[in-house]
Amino acid sequence: MASIEVNGKSYETDEEGYLVDLNEWNPEVANFLAQSENIEMTDQHWEVINFLREYFEEYQIAPAVRVLTKAIGKKLGPEKGTSEYLYGLFPYGPGKQACKIAGLPKPTGCI
Amino acid sequence: MADIAPPAYRTFPIIPELKPGAMEGKGPFVAPDKINEALGFPGHLEDDWHDKAIAKMGDLLSRYRSLKVYMDACVHCGACSDKCHYFIGTQDPKNMPVARQDLMRSVYRRYFTLPGKLFPKLVGARDLTREVLDEWFNYYHQCSECRRCSVFCPYGIDTAEVTMAAREILDSVGYGQKYANEIIGKVHKIGNNLGLPGPALIDTLEGLEEDVKEATGVDVRFPMDVKGAEVLLITPSADFFAEPHIDSLIGYAKVFHATGTSWTLSSMSSEAGNFGLFIGNYDQLRTIAMRIRQAALELGVKRIVVGECGHAWRVAYSFWNTLTGVGDGADPNDRFAQMLQKQLDHRYKQPSHICEFTWDMIQDERLVFDKSKNDKYVITYHDSCNVARGSNMGGYPGGQFDIPRNIIRAVANNFVEMDSSTSYERTFCCGGGGGLLTDDLMDVRVKGALPRMEKLQQVKDEEGVNFMACICAICKAQFTKVLPIYGFDRKVVGGVHQLVSNAIQLGVK
């Protein structure tokens, strides 16, 4: 198993750098994971990450892209409730890249 | 991932220059112990793997006469060699279908034929060493089981079946692929490939009801677990989750609404896809399919309709009858299969594809469309491999090609075909089928998309095509990822029922 080290503490990850234990997640880890994805975290990024974590806590799965865009639209205004906005923040796809930074398991399937 | 460069388009699409060893490597991620054991496979390779693998091969050869014929019949004529998208895109000679199959055939000769046992070197027979096993793992995960090469094989060798057998042997010794096996585990545990639990599904569906109401002013329902509904819709779970898949789900719901059809989804059986096919494991194939039978019996439905999913339709069309009793041919001693046979309404095809359902309704003039709603598109159609080469629609030869196209023409004004050497039964795989739709195989996925991208570019340049419709969740996801790498917008790909959804007029009839 791979691992990452943040502030002197070691965190176990899978082959692609997703956290194995989502309870270990904290904002420093998120910043570290974002850096490894070449993403500089802004307030806009955090809005998405926080929503993902809240949703996961309730449903035990990441939200559908459409659910995510709608929630962001409601919170931040309709012009931001689009997949373009989310791809702008997370170029490799809001589903997989944002989940990684949020410490959630990678969604896999026919997606 | 972003640094993966696509191969250049070929000026003349002829046999590419060979690059031996171009795709040598470790293959995709290996499934960890926990994932393998959950499916009843050994957790990992153990010391006795060699004997177990050969025994498994013997077992498969005795059970599947077809496999033995495919091992014996090949004369290395080479007709298949340049027909594979992965060979074209990677130029690795081991990705010529004949060469990829020979990775297994050489082992077959060594252990199961007299000349191979006596004079292995003379007949190209090889011991199954660890190196050979690694080679299998690598190259049998560079085949999407699309069967395009089989179309050109004069002996009709189904090369996909060889890949399936190889993967089955690998799994039997604890050397499976993480992506496929993890997904199968989620189906058993949660009910779908994505691992969407019931409450998440319901939340998503309620959101869709709101969205459609907002967009159309009509209360279109997305019902879940409704007992006594006429139709049970079995669709890939990507339809609940991903873009553009979800737009087709909205399309199905609008068709059911507009025709007054009572329908339901099932939270327990919320997956059409069946990765048991990809890993060639009959028990997994059957166990996954059984969820659908259980849901159909519990909900008391009269019809089973399958959404836009390529390999699901192959499994449904070709195997559900004997696996589960959906369709004719169930085992007379299988009580539940017989029960389901009696329950289903045989005035309709069982199972039906959603395209068959919609096309029937169009022919019966039960749907009204405003085709101008799709005027912003010049549309082409990508035949998905498992629909094109592994199934049928409409009950007549070629129906699986006509019916999706008929629907597109009924809902849109601008439709053009791609080059005929890459469509209908000669269609190219999207590059992500057969259990390869995973990020750890992105390099081979991008390269394998080359022949399809070349012909899409051609119709874009010559006809202004800006939408490629298809009826497969894997195609949709694969193209969404690789289109931008080839310079297209990711929204160029979408579903047939996405176009239906755009044009359908609700509340008119």
CB contact under 8 A, A111 and B204: no
Q: Which two tokens stand for residue B226?
A: 């409704």
B354 lies in the same domain as B375: no
Same domain for B297 and B397, yes or no, is: no
Residue B228 sits in the same domain as residue B152 = no
3-class DSSP string for B79-92: CCCCCCHHHHHHCC
**A95/B236 Cβ within 8 A:** no
pLDDT of residue B330: 80
Residue A12 binned pLDDT confidence (cut-offs 50, 70, 90): very high
The residue of A12, A90, A104, A110 whose CB has the most chain B CBs within 10 angstroms, and thus the best one to mutate to test that interface, is A110
Does B376 lie in the same domain as B356? no
pLDDT at A1 over 80: no
For residue B200, the distance in angstroms to the closest alpha carbon of chain A comes to: 5
Q: What is the pLDDT along chain B (509 residues), one digit of tens a residue?
A: 446 889 999 988 778 899 999 999 989 999 999 999 999 999 999 999 999 999 999 999 999 999 999 999 999 999 999 999 999 999 999 999 999 999 999 999 999 999 999 999 999 999 999 999 999 999 999 999 999 999 999 999 999 999 999 999 999 999 999 999 999 999 999 999 999 999 999 999 999 999 999 999 999 999 999 999 999 999 999 999 999 999 999 999 999 999 999 999 999 999 999 999 999 999 999 999 999 999 999 999 999 999 999 999 999 999 999 888 888 778 889 999 999 999 999 999 999 999 999 999 999 999 999 999 999 999 999 999 999 999 999 999 999 999 999 999 999 999 999 999 999 999 999 999 999 999 999 999 999 999 999 999 999 999 999 999 999 999 999 999 999 999 999 999 999 999 999 999 998 76
Catalytic residues of A: 110
A23 touches chain B (CB under 8 A): no
Instruction: Let me know whether B325 and B214 are in one domain.
Output: yes
Domain of B148? 33-176
Residue of A nearest to B472 (CA): A110
Is residue B151 in a domain?
yes
Rounded CA separation B383/B310 (Å) = 9
Are B142 and B275 members of one domain?
no
Q: Is the pLDDT of residue A94 over 90?
A: no
Per the CB < 8 Å rule, is A111 touching B238?
A: yes
Q: Which of B208, B236, B246 is opposite residue A110, by nearest beta carbon?
A: B236
Q: What is the CATH number of the domain that holds B127?
A: 1.10.1060
A81 touches chain B (CB under 8 A): no
User: For A111, which of B29, B199, B241 is closest by C-beta distance?
Assistant: B241
Is B16 domain-assigned? no
Minimal Cα distance from A64: which residue of B?
Answer: B241
Q: Which residue has the tokens 């007299």?
A: B114
B451, B14 Cβ separation under 8 angstroms: no
Contact B495, B471 (CB under 8 A): yes
Residue B6 lies in a domain: no
Say if the Cβ atoms of A64 and B241 lie within 8 Å. yes
Query: Which residue, B295, B326, B360, sits at the end of a domain?
Result: B360
CA distance A92 to chain B (A): 8
pLDDT at B507: 81
For residue B153, tell me if it sits in a domain.
Answer: yes
Domain boundary among B116, B143, B176: B176
Phi, psi of B401, rounded to the nearest 5 degrees: -90, -40
- Cα(B446)–Cα(B436) distance, integer angstroms: 11
Residues B41 and B147 in one domain: yes
Residues of A in contact with B307 (CB under 8 A): none
Helix, strand, coil percent content, chain A, rounded in steps of 5: 55, 10, 35
Helix residue spans in B24-96 (DSSP H): 33-38, 49-63, 65-73, 85-90
pLDDT at A74 over 60: yes
In a domain, B24, yes or no: no
In a domain, B17, yes or no: no
Are B1 and A107 in contact (CB < 8 Å)?
A: no
Q: Which residues of A touch B242 (CB under 8 A)?
A: 64-65, 95, 110-111
Separation in Å, CA of A99 to nearest CA in chain B? 14
Whole-number pLDDT of residue B331:
84
Nearest chain B residue to A15, by CA: B29
CB spacing of A59 vs B474 below 8 angstroms: no
Number of folded domains in chain B?
A: 3
- Whether residues B238 and A110 touch (CB distance < 8 A) is answered with yes
Q: Do B157 and B223 fall into the same domain? A: no
Nearest to B197 among A59, A70, A111 (CB): A59
Domain identity same for B150 and B216? no
Domain finish residue from B176, B201, B220 = B176
The pLDDT score that the predictor gives to residue B328 is 79
Q: Are residues B339 and B459 in the same domain?
A: no
Question: Does any domain span residue B384?
Answer: yes
Q: Is B281 in the same domain as B386?
A: no
Q: How much is the pTM?
A: 0.96
Q: Which residues of A touch B273 (CB under 8 A)?
A: 109-110
Q: Which of B355, B466, B464 is nearest to B405 (CA)?
A: B355
Chain B residue with Cα closest to A37? B1
Counting one residue from chain A and one from chain B, the pairs whose CB atoms sit within 8 A come to 87
Task: Tally DSSP H helices, then E strands, for chain A.
Answer: 5, 2
Sheet holding B263-264, edge to edge: B263-264, B231-234, B303-306, B352-353
pLDDT the model gives residue A17: 92
Chain A interface mutation, best of B29, B241, B472, highest count of A Cβ atoms under 10 Å? B241
Residue of A nearest to B479 (CA): A111
pLDDT of residue B5: 86
Q: How far is A86 from chain B (nearest CA, A)?
A: 13
Q: Please list the alpha-helical segments (H only) found in B140-258.
A: 148-152, 159-172, 178-189, 198-216, 245-258
- Is B449 part of any domain? yes
Q: At CA A31, angle to CA A29 and CA A35, rounded to 5? A: 115
Out of B208, B309, B477, closest to residue A111 by CB:
B477
Q: Is there a single domain that holds both residue B280 and residue B225?
A: yes
